[in-house]
Chains A and B, each alone.
Chain A
Amino acid sequence: MDDASSSFEITINGTKRHFNVEPWVTLLDLLRERAGLTGTKKGCDHGQCGACTVLVDGQRVNSCLMLAVMQDGKEVTTIEGLAAGNELHPLQRGFIQHDAFQCGYCTPGQICSALGLIREGKADSVDSIREFMSGNLCRCGAYSNIVAAIEQARGQL
C-alpha cells in the first residue's frame, strides 16, 4: 500500500501541513486519525448526517465524501480553528448560551455548517435556517435551540 501513497499539503486552521497517505483516505479520516483533529465527527461515513462538516476554502462540505488527496493546496477550517485564542467564535458562544446541543456529537458539524450557511447569506430567516441546516442531523433533538443560536450569532459576524 505504501507505493500508492501520494504526498500533498493542506492548510488546516491556518497551518500548512504535509501528508503522505493513500489516495483512498477521506478528508474526514485524515483529520481524525492522522492530523489529530478529532473535533470533526464521523456519524455515518456516507454523506447522510453532516457530523463531519468542515469548511474547504470557505465552503461547507461533508468531509467523509472528500478524498484527502484532492484537497492539495486548499484551506480547511475545522471546529478547532474557529476560536481566536481564548475568544470563542460567536457561533460557539451562541451554541453554549442557547444550549444548542446535548451529547455534543453533532455540534462541531452544526457549527461549521452554520458558519457556511451565514456566509452563503441563507441565515436570514428562521425558515431558511431550518431548510438549509437540514443536512445536519441531531439525534438528541436540539433543533429549536440550534436555530436560536444561529439567529443570535448571525448578527455578530
Chain B
Amino acid sequence: MISLPHFPEHLQKLGPHTGKPLDRVDGLAKVTGKALYAAEHHRPGLLYGVVVSSSVARARIRSFDTADALAEAGVVQVFTHQNRPKLASRSKKWRDQDTPKGSPFRPLEDDRVLFSGQPLALVVATSFEAARHAAALVRIEFDEIEQPETRLLERLGQGKAPGRAKGGFTPPPGPHGHPQQALKSAFARVNADYLVSAEHHNPMEPHAATVFYEEDGSLTVYSKTQGPVGEQAFLSAVLGLKKDRVRVLAPFVGGAFGSGLRPQYHLVLAAMAALELKRSVRVVLSRQQMFTFGHRPYTWQHVALGAERDGKLVSLVHEAVAETSKFESYVENVVTWSARLYPCPNYSLNHRVVPLDVYTPLDMRAPGAVTGLFAIESAMDELAHELGMDPLQLRLVNYGEKDGLTGHPYSSKELRACYQQAAGRFGWEQRWSEPRGRREGSKLVGWGMATGVWDAMQVPASARARLHLDGRLEVASATTDIGTGTYTVMTQIAADVMGLSLESVEFKLGDTSLPEAPLQGGSFTVASVGSAIKAACDGLRDQLFKLAQKMPNSPFYARSQAEVEFRDGRLGLPGHPEAALSYAQILRQQGVSVLEEEVKVLPNLLKQRGYSLATHSAVFAEVQVDEELGTIEVTRMVTAVAAGRILNPKTSRNQLLGGMVWGISSALHEKSELDLELGRFINHNLAEYHIPVQADIRHLEVVFVEEQDEIVNPLGIKGLGEIGVIGVAAAIANAVFHATGRRVRHLPIRLDDLL
C-alpha cells in the first residue's frame, strides 16, 4: 500500500484527474534509462570540451603554454582569452533573467582572474578522454597573484545596502516605531547572532551543454537549465546570432534547485566552440567544477527580540550581512520574513552585502527564506525559553492575521491549522519543558518546532493547446520539469479541463520552439504555466462549442455554454445522452483538422491588489543526540503545509519530503568550506561535501492542510518547491537545544559543536 497524507479531496478537483495521487507520466522514461539529459544527446562527429579551471583566485594571466595539449592526438583546439572568437563586448548583452546588479561574469574575457576555479581555457578534442588529458597539459603562468579577500566576518561593518538590485528582491523598509527603546523596556529579551554556511546546489546531474552545429550554421542546444527561453535570448545576445538561429531544449533536467536559473559558463564555451569550429560540441562540468559558480551565500545575521510577559512581541530587530562577488551584487529576501510573520509595533530590518573574491552567489532552493527563517525561528525558540513558555504557544500569541509589513490581509493563511495538525500528528502536547529532560539509552532526546513561509507567486506564461481529429490533445509550453512533476500535473490539468483521459493528452515542454514560459523557480511554475494551460484549454472549449452550434440540426443551437459538459471526449447536455457528440465528430463534420488555441496569461493584479500571498508550513522535529559521541539523528519529523490546491498528492508529497531532506541537510550536513587563504571551496566533491544519504533519513511525514484560495490565481495553487525546506533547520536546531541544553547558532550543526 502506498501511504498518502490526509487529503481533502473534494476541494482539490477540477475533474477526475486533478487531486489524485497519479504516477508520473514521465516515470517510465526515467526508470528505463530512456530519459535523455543534457549530456546524453549524440550525433556522429561530436567533439568533447573540457574546461581548464584557475588554481588562483586573484591574478593576471601572463601566458598560456598550450603546445603539449595541442600535440595530443585527437585535440582539435584550445580556446583561451587570447584566441577565442568574438563574443558580445557590452556587459548589458550578458544579462540573463536572474541577473543581479553589476556586470555578469564572462568566460575567457581577458587576462583577469576574479575567483578560484574560473574557467581559463577550453580544450576541445575528438574524445572525452583526450580532452581531459590535454586539459591537464595546459600550463598557465600568472602575474600579480594577490591574496583574495574572503573574510566576511571581518568586514561586517563594510556591508553596503544593495538597493533594488534584483528581480524578486524587496528592500527592507526603514525602521518602524522605536525598536531599541522598546527592546530596553521589554520584559524578556533575546539578542543573538546566527551564521548560515555557503552551500552549493549540487544537483546529481552535472551541468552540461550539448551543442549541435546544424548544416545552416544554426545551433541546437541541449542544456541543463530551468529556463530554455532565457538561455536562447542570452546565447543569441552573447554570440551575436538572431534568436531563430538558436534553439534550446531541456526535455529532462537532472535536478537544479536554482543552479539552472542563470546560464553558466560551460554553455557559452560549448556554443562558442561549436560556432567557431563548425562542429557539434559537448561540455560537461566535473563535480569539482560544480563548485565554481553560484552558491547560497555565507550570511551573518543578528536578531533581537523583546516581548511582554505574555509573549507578545514589542520589538523585532533582524539584520543580515551576506557575501557577494566583486562583480555583481547578489541579494535575497532574508530579513523581511520576520516582520511579515510576526506583526510588531517596533521593528528594524536591514540587509547589507559585502563584496568578496568569490563567484556571485545564486538563488538556491528557498533563497533567503532558508537563511532568514533559521535565525528568526531560532530566536523565537530562545525567547520562549526565556519566558518559560511553550514555543508553539509563543507563535500563536504572535500569530499574524495580517501581513506584519504591509498590513494587508492574506488571500488565505491556514498556518494556525498547520500548527494544530502537525503538532497533533507529532504528539507535541507530550512535550516536557526542561532541556535534557529525556534520555533513551545513551541518547538525549529533544523536540523542536518552527514555522515556514514563502511567497505564492504567479508570473506571465504562455501555453498552446491543439486538439487533433483523432481526439488527441497536445498541450505545450517551454517550461521545464526539474523533478518537480511539471509533465504530470500539466497533463492532469489539461485532461480535466477538456474532459479527456490522461492517455489522450500529451504535454510538451523544454523547447524554445514552444510558447514562452518563465524560468522554473520560486515555486511559481504550476501557478503560472498551469493557469496558461487552463486558459488555452478553456479557449478550445469555446471554439468547440461554437463549432458544435454551427452543425446542421445542432442540439446545442439554442444552448449556452454553461449548459453543456465536456466529458469523456464528448460534448454533451446533462440529461440528454443522445445529444452527445465526440470532439472528433465535431471537427470532422465541420471540416477542421486541428483546433488550436494559444494564450498568454498574466496574473490578475487587480484581484490580488491589497492582499498578501503566501504559503505556510509548520515543522516539528525529534532528534536524538549521543552524549558521548555528539552524533545527531533526526529520528522523526512532521511537516504540515498550507499551499492552496494540491493537484497531485503523490508528486506533491515527494516534493515536500525532498524539501525536508534538504532541511536536514542544511541543519546537519551541508557546508561549502572556503579556504580563506586560497579563496577556494576546498571540499569540492561529494565525499567531503556532505549531503544526507539513505541511512540519515528516518520517519518523515507530510500533512496537507485544507486551504481554499480564489484570489491567488484561477487554479488556487500556491506552489510547493520551496516551502518544504523552510524552517526545517530551525526546528532541528531547537530540538538539539531541547535535547542537550546547547544553543547552536550556526549551520550546519556538527558533532564537535556538542562535545
Contacts and interface: CB of A to CB of B under 8 A. Distances in A.
Nearest to B22: A99
Contact of B657 (A32, A139, A145): A145
Nearest to B208: A42
Nearest to A36: B42
B206 A42 contact: yes
B254 to A, nearest CB: 3
A29 B129 contact: yes
Interface string B635-655: 000000000000000110111
B74 interface: yes
B31 A102 contact: no
A63 interface: no
A83 B3 CA distance: 26
Nearest to B33: A39
Contact of A38 (B40, B685, B700): B40
B416 interface: no
B685 A105 contact: no
B255 A29 contact: no
Interface of B is mostly: loop
A144 B697 contact: yes
Interface in B615-646: none
Given A139-B204, A141-B657, A103 B23 contact: no
Contacts of A120: none
B32 A38 contact: no
Interface stretch (B93-101, B146-154, B332-340, B688-696): B688-696
A7 interface: no
Given A40-B33, A140-B658, A145-B654, A103 B204 contact: yes
A45 interface: yes
Contacts of B695: 130-131, 134
Interface in A37-72: 37-46, 48-49, 51
Contacts of A2: 73
A99 B650 CA distance: 7
B33 A78 contact: yes
A155 B112 CA distance: 60
A103 B254 CA distance: 5
Interface string A127-157: 0011101111111111111111000000000
Nearest to A113: B694
B30 A144 contact: no
B654 A99 contact: yes
Contact of A105 (B26, B254, B284): B254
B654 A142 contact: yes
A108 interface: yes
Contacts, number: 179
B19 interface: no
A95 B35 CA distance: 15
Contact of B685 (A48, A51, A135): A48
Contacts of A129: 694
B22 to A, nearest CB: 10
B24 A96 contact: yes
A53 B33 CA distance: 13
Given A97-B23, A136-B694, A103 B657 contact: no
B484 interface: yes
A123 interface: no
A138 B204 contact: yes
A48 B32 contact: no
A1 B74 contact: yes
A12 interface: no
A42 B128 CA distance: 13
A80 B40 CA distance: 14
A111 interface: yes
B691 A137 contact: yes
B349 interface: no
A44 B287 contact: yes
Contacts of B686: 43-44, 46, 48-49, 137
Interface of B: 2-3, 23-24, 26-37, 39-40, 42, 72-74, 127-130, 202-206, 252-257, 284, 286-287, 482-485, 650-651, 653-655, 657-662, 685-687, 691-695, 697, 700
**Which 3 pairs between the two chains have the least Cβ-Cβ distance?**
A39-B33, A141-B661, A105-B254
6 contacts: A22-B129, A38-B39, A46-B686, A97-B2, A102-B483, A133-B694
